[in-house]
Amino acid sequence: MTRRRGALGVLACGILCLALCACAAGSVESHHAAGGGGLSQFLLGLWHGIIAPLTLIVEIVNHFAPHTLPWAARMYEPAGTGWLYDLGFYLGLVGSPVFASTRFSR
């Protein structure tokens, strides 16, 4: 029973990672949202900062094993110009789940 529960947890984490990376920088939707306005750029930067650790893993996989994953992700949105996108990105990076879990585990 616990082995099945562990396998389901791993599967759920994998699906969550794929869903998060589908919203990564460099996509058409992300490029469109970056041109929306101040609030849109801030929220987009915040989202890209939160998923930055996963995006980094995708970039490394794409670099060392090209064509393994069906998409290419970027760490930072090229169309996200302005200080609001930058502020959101850094706030999202600092508050991302990876860093938050290390803070609470101490």
DSSP 72: -
Q: 3 or 66: which carries more pLDDT confidence? A: 66
pLDDT of amino acid 1: 59
| Distance in angstroms (rounded) separating the CA atoms of residues 51 and 98 | 9
For residues 53-80, give the mean pLDDT.
82
Query: pLDDT (tens digit, 9 = 90+) per residue, 2-26?
Result: 677 777 777 777 777 666 655 677 7
Q: How far is CA 7 from CA 4, 12, 32, 43, in A?
A: 5, 9, 37, 33
DSSP 68: S
For the whole model, what pTM was predicted? 0.68
Query: pLDDT (tens digit, 9 = 90+) per residue, 75-101?
Result: 888 887 889 988 999 999 888 666 556
